[in-house]
Chains A and B, each alone.
Chain A
Amino acid sequence: MAKRLTRLTVEQEAALGPWADAWIAKALAPGPVDREQVEDGMRRCYEYAGIPWHGNVVWVDSPLVVGFAGPIAASLLKDEAVDGAVGGAIYGAVGGAVYEAVGEAVRGTVYGAVYGAVGEPVDGAVDVAVREAVGEAVDGAICGAVGEAVYGAVDGAVDVAVGGAVREAVEDNWYRYIGGMCWAWWTAYISYFRENTDLDLGEMWDRSRAYEDANQAGWWWPHRDFVIVSEKWSSTPQLEQVGERGWGSHRLHSLTGPALSFPGWDLYYVHGVRVDEKVVLRPHELTADDVWAATNQEVRRTIIDQMGWDRFVSEAGLTLVDECADPGNPGHTVSLYDLPERVYDEPVRVVLVDNATVDRDGTRRRFGLTVPSECGSALDAVAWTFDLDPGVYAGLERAT
């Protein structure tokens, strides 16, 4: 049994990709989870952290409830929530300790001198292939969104709904959770070494199993006297892959329903931008007023994309600056409009062009491209989008 890993075998390297894939699939799979396994894992985590196990586990439907209920319950127990919350202590004793032990065992200075010529550092290979791959597909894409949504709800609702000490308790403590399957990057990375190599970290492996079991569900908010834990998402999160494995690889996206669902809490996303249900399910009901009502520019642009630029341009009463025949697209017109500054930070115009090829529904999609306000004519504008001289673009022979 090895105390330190200096290289991966061919078989171990070959296992990296499938390991990441299996963990991504496991993490994305919807609940319900095996609650006994989770609660037993929590008990063992408390023991490793030296905190007496209370046995009080409250299951709730979503991380939104966790974010509110944990701090509120703590504050109702006449306790300063920050003192009673033990998430940090548990992560430190179990999650953090194991992570550090694995790190020390697979990195280290001896490695560089002796085995530097052999190949990639073990940690680097596993880190990129497993931890980043799983982390970005699950944590980066979904759990960042969940955190923002909970934070948004806390920020928006608490002021109105509750007062005084409870408000402070929620605002200051909602984030003292442990991520459950949101943090699958941890279990994927750690369990890779545990299950695929002969690295011997003794009791640390037992701690890792406890933490892994406890994190099979959703967010959990551990307190000295209770745990509030969320079920996993109730259907598989809808993701689109926008890059290679690693940083920024996935984002939430669905044009047919919620991209992320918990019982009683549906979240809608278009290309990673959170929007109201109507934007996704009933885009034909969208109006220019919905665009102006949105407080965030990304959301405004997403609403415009969903309602269609041509409809937005006419409903918002934008001013036509210029029109010309579309080069290479006979019978079609390019139109340039002024766009109010409320959509972008700077003065911008939008040029509307018809697709040069018929779309699946037999029509030609008319879409808008934003251009700098310096573009004085429709031809200038469409030429700018390709960084071409307008005179050159006018000679376009064929467009598809």
Chain B
Amino acid sequence: MNFTENEIFGAALIGFDMIDGPFLKWKKEYDNKNKNVRLDDFAMNFYLAFRGGNESVKKPRAILYDNFYIVAFPRDLELCCLFMKPKDLENNISQLNKIASRIITEMENDKDDDNTKDSDENTIEEIERLIPNLLNGTKMTTPELRRYFKLSNSQIWKVMSDLENSNKIIRAGKKGRSVYWTAK
């Protein structure tokens, strides 16, 4: 990895208290102009991002955000985070975004194999409770919703029809053959 020390704009040591959990133990900001990260607010979230989950699960060494990245080095339960602002990240992200879009399109084309198991009645009721929340102030297509809930095509249409009939959701347009839905 090529970098210069100038790219480090901050460092933090996040400690861990057995009762209270992660806390910001120490911090140093090398570049006062950089207001990307409010360390006090995000220290605990960074800790979980790097250390969360079971010990057996692989942990990230670095996490890339919109315009900076963090590299973390664990020391027992503590975590030393270096906040980096690398050069040309915007361009790299834009290139990677194009690749990701291609992969998503590929997946969309392959997804028609409908081998999802039928969900039980209790799960369907829970889904009917969640969908109006999910569609509150936003629009989603039927296939998008189907993927969120691991439902079969026939099941998602049954759920959407029920919700439409009970006036909880309405149709908000079409995208190709897919219907957009939104909460009423």
A and B co-occur in one complex:
no
- Partner-A contacts on B (CB < 8 A): none
- Partner-B contacts on A (CB < 8 A): none
